[in-house]
Amino acid sequence: MAWSQDLETATFRGLSFEVVSISDRIEHRVVEHEFPYRDGAELEDTGRKARPTTVQAAFHGPNALVELAAFVKIADEGKTGTFRHPLLGTWKAKVVSTSIEHSEGKRDFAAVTIELREDGTNTEFPDVFSISAEGSKLDDAATNAQTQYDNMEKPTDPIAAERLEVAVQDAIDNSASASADLQDETSGLINRFGEIQAFVNAATVALARDVDDVEAYGTTTALRATVFGARRLKERIERIHPKVIAQDVKATAPLVVIANDRYKDPDRTDDLERINRIRNPFLVGVGETIKIHGDLDRDDQ
| Amino acid 194: pLDDT | 81
163: exposed, middle or buried (Cβ count in 10 Å: 0-12, 13-18, 19+): middle
Query: What's the predicted TM-score (pTM) here?
Result: 0.42
The pLDDT of residue 244 is 62
- Say whether domain 128-240 belongs to CATH 1.10.287: no
110-161: pLDDT as tens digits: 899 999 999 986 555 555 556 777 788 888 989 999 999 999 989 889 998 9
Fold topology of 2-29+48-118: Elongation Factor Tu (Ef-tu); domain 3 (2.40.30)
Kindly state the percentage of the chain with pLDDT values over 70. 85
Which pLDDT belongs to residue 52?
94
CB neighbour class for 246 (10 Å; exposed up to 12, middle 13-18, buried from 19): exposed
For 34, 141, 142, 181, 191, the CA distances from 178, given in Å and listed in that order, are: 51, 12, 10, 5, 11
Residues of the chain with pLDDT under 70: 1-7, 121-130, 182-190, 238-244, 271, 274-275, 293-301
Burial class of residue 199 (count of CB atoms within 10 Å of its CB; 0-12, 13-18, 19+): buried
